[in-house]
Amino acid sequence: AVSLSLDSQTGATCAMKEVTLIPDDPKSSECIKQLEQ
């Protein structure tokens, strides 16, 4: 999460949610896509 260079709001959300990502949750899915880039 430290090295993610995302939009600050999305980045913050990802950093907070990456521990408890839920593939069925649209926000988490979006996050996973960005993390995989």
Give the whole-angstrom CA distance, residue 35 versus residue 10.
11
Q: Measure CA 30 to chain center.
A: 7
What's the 3-state SS for the chain? CCCCCCCHHHHHHHHHHHHHCCCCCHHHHHHHHHHHC
Q: And the tokens for 8? A: 């600050």
pLDDT of residue 15: 60
Number of domains comprising the chain: 1
Q: Which residue range(s) make up the domain with 2?
A: 1-37
pLDDT of residue 30: 72
pLDDT of residue 27: 66
What pLDDT digit, counting tens, does each position of 11-37 carry? 665 565 555 555 566 666 776 677 777
